[in-house]
Copies of this chain bind each other. A is one copy, B any other.
Amino acid sequence: MQKLTIVKIGGNIIDNPSELEKAIKKFALLPGLKLLVHGGGKIASEISERLNIKPNLIDGRRITDEDSLEVVQMVYAGLINKNIVANLQKYDCPAVGLSGADANSLLAHKRPVKEIDYGLVGDLDQVNSDIIRKLIEIPLVPVFCALTHDGKGQILNTNADTIAAEIGIALSKYYKVTLIFSFEKAGVLLDIQIEESLLPKLDNETYKKLKSDKVIADGMIPKLDNAFRSLENGVKEVYITNFNTTELENKVKFNGTKLTLV
């Protein structure tokens, strides 16, 4: 089995031009087969505001109505995705930008309405690993934005961490997958204020305990849930890290927190 590295970069990198430039260069220089998933950052909110589209919040939750989806589609698939792709080409990385509608790669359904109607938000049903493999083997480097589709003509907004995890799981049947969840911190911190409290390793049992003790909370929980789920379902290695601290000299070394299973 060949190795495949999947890197997910989030808003903190997308919103910062010099960090984004660094991440693009690092990703382009990563040896071997690879795939990028990117989030959206704050640009979509800024464009919404300039277009005078009011954020639709219910109980503090952001609802993706039709106008918001248009903005997200423009910003994720048009502005950010094509900027990343064009800049990867600069480093001879044969990137191809994709939404989940492209090549029917990511099928989802609109999240069912329970207490809240989230609007045009998609829960992933199927990663078309056949087509993604064919693209990788051309060889191309897929660059996914956080959009899926329902197969009936509707684009849907889907969490980028979930997309990265599910692509990782689906492709782990064919590749030895390393999955990197990049974010603004050095990794999982015991005290969010103190960089020195970085955990170099974190296993699933310790994670459960830290979660019930409320040491790990908020946005870290869905991220780590995605990360551990991918590790439990075929992905070989998972790191929570700031991707830009990756060392590429001699041998690739991902810093941050390495997740393990007990």
Q: Which residues of A contact B (CB under 8 A)?
A: 47, 50-52, 70, 73-79, 81-83, 85-87, 89-90, 94-99, 101-104, 131, 134-135, 138, 140, 147, 149, 151-155
Contacts and interface: CB of A to CB of B under 8 A. Distances in A.
Given A97-B102, A102-B96, A138-B131, A77 B86 contact: no
B77 A81 contact: yes
Residue of A78, A79, A97 most packed against chain B (CB within 10 A) = A78
Given A78-B77, A151-B90, A85 B101 contact: yes
Contacts of A154: 86
B74 A149 contact: no
Contact of A90 (B51, B99, B152): B152
Contact of A82 (B73, B138, B151): B73
15 contacts: A50-B50, A73-B79, A77-B77, A77-B81, A78-B79, A82-B101, A82-B155, A86-B155, A95-B102, A96-B96, A96-B103, A97-B99, A97-B102, A103-B138, A134-B138
One complex includes copies of this chain to the number of: 2
A67 to B, nearest CB: 11
A216 to B, nearest CB: 35
Contact of A89 (B47, B77, B104, B135): B104
B74 A75 contact: yes
Contacts of A78: 73-79, 81
Contacts of A70: 79
A117 to B, nearest CB: 21
Contacts of A153: 86-87, 89-90
A72 to B, nearest CB: 9
B77 A101 contact: no
A25 B50 CA distance: 34
A205 B135 CA distance: 45
Residue of A89, A95, A131 most packed against chain B (CB within 10 A) = A89
A44 to B, nearest CB: 10
A66 to B, nearest CB: 12
A104 B98 contact: no
Contacts of A102: 82, 85, 95-97
A241 B84 CA distance: 37
Nearest to A128: B94
Residue of A50, A76, A102, A140 most packed against chain B (CB within 10 A) = A102
